[in-house]
Structure 1
Amino acid sequence: MTSTFHQEHPDAALARTPVPPKLVDITHPWNRAPPKPIDKRRRYCSIEPNYEAARQFYVREGHLRVPRKHIERLVIGGDGDGGTGEAQEVRELRLGAWIGNQRSRAATLTPERMEKLSAIGMRWS
């Protein structure tokens, strides 16, 4: 009498399991990726729209106590009067998060940036 039940050998299941990739020691200096250079121009350019949004908020509200989740719309470009001049771009900036980050990083900010933010009403405490 022939059985219809087929039992697989236990070692066959081990042969089907994938082999994990070889781990690389990333702590060794030869295995680390080289550090990326910091483009200070790009970093400075990312500050300007946020600063302009903060200035816009201060002019409108009279303070910089921005709620953490506040998003400020900033119009970039154009001639400002709705004419047919340069194309306008509307950017939504997370101003509340940016202001909070500036306050928490006050000890590491440059004196120029602290002075610039203080000039538009930034309170550091």
Structure 2
Amino acid sequence: MAHPPEASNQLAGLWLKNQRAAARKAAENAERRAAGESGVAYAGELSEAHRDALADLDPGWCPVWEIGWQRCYRLVLAHRKAGGSIPPGPGELIVQGEDLGAWAAAQRTAWDKLTPAQQWLLETTGIEPADDAAPAPSAPRSQDARWTANLAAARQFHAREGHLQVPRQHVETTTDGEEQTAVKLGAWLDNTRRRAAKLTADRRSALDDLGMRW
């Protein structure tokens, strides 16, 4: 028997809510295991393959970022779909108490600190990196430098902890001379797992040497 549209929408919403809950439980349990807690059951967790399949359909289906970011993104998306444009600075577009111009400007300048999913979502609204953060002719070197910095953080964590089971929210601080760099190591490793098929053999091997769990 076919369900009426309203009932179908409610069922779909309930199903997605359950998937999000299971995904968040999996992330929380992974952090507990990484912290050394034993006996953490896998019951009720969403498998990584299932999470990846849902992320392929919609990278924002179960955001790991704070809810305020998601709220502003949805407001920007609705504004753009209605034919509106996003101003370059603050004070010109206030929607439901949110300064969307200021928010968009902040995303542009902090582009490299966003997750790939956040960057993709912003691009669907027409928001792109600021000029000084946009890819330049030396982009391959810049990307290589970021990889090197992230790998150095992974090696530092491994040398200290003896493993590479890094909680997603973990930030590793590395030091080069007098300069310190905060690396979002947990998020980087999680994103790298999702892009495993696109890694070069050398990069994958470097992480394999640290006991990377794919």
> TM (normalized to structure 1)?
0.60
Which of 48, 51, 54 is 2:154 aligned to? Answer: 54
- In structure 1, stretches of 5+ residues that fail to align are 1-19, 22-34, 78-87
Letter in 2 for 1:56: Q
Paired with 2:169 and 2:193, the residues of 1 have a C-alpha distance of 15
Paired with 2:143 and 2:181, the residues of 1 have a C-alpha distance of 17
Establish whether residue 40 from structure 1 lines up as the match of residue 140 from structure 2.
Answer: yes
Q: CA deviation at 1:36?
A: 6.9
Establish whether residue 68 from structure 1 lines up as the match of residue 168 from structure 2.
Answer: yes
Q: CA deviation at 1:102?
A: 0.9
Q: CA deviation at 1:123?
A: 1.7
Q: Deviations over 1:19-61 (max 9, x none)?
A: x89xxxxxxxxxxxxx975721111011111100000000111
Q: CA deviation at 1:117?
A: 1.0
Paired with 2:200 and 2:209, the residues of 1 have a C-alpha distance of 14
Paired with 1:62 and 1:50, the residues of 2 have a C-alpha distance of 17
Task: Report the RMSD for the aligned CA atoms in angstroms.
Answer: 2.1
- In structure 2, stretches of 5+ residues that fail to align are 1-83, 86-134
* Structure holding more helix per residue: 2
Q: State the identity %.
A: 46
Q: Which has the higher contact order (CA 8 A, sep 6+)?
A: 1
Paired with 2:138 and 2:149, the residues of 1 have a C-alpha distance of 19
Q: Deviations over 1:35-91 (max 9, x none)?
A: 9757211110111111000000001111111000000010012xxxxxxxxxx1111
Letter in 1 for 2:144: Y
Query: After TM superposition, what 4+ stretches of structure 1 lie above 4 angstroms from structure 2?
Result: 35-38
> TM (normalized to structure 2)?
0.36
- Aligned pair count reads 82
Which residue of the partner structure matches residue 210 of structure 2?
A: 120
Paired with 1:38 and 1:106, the residues of 2 have a C-alpha distance of 24
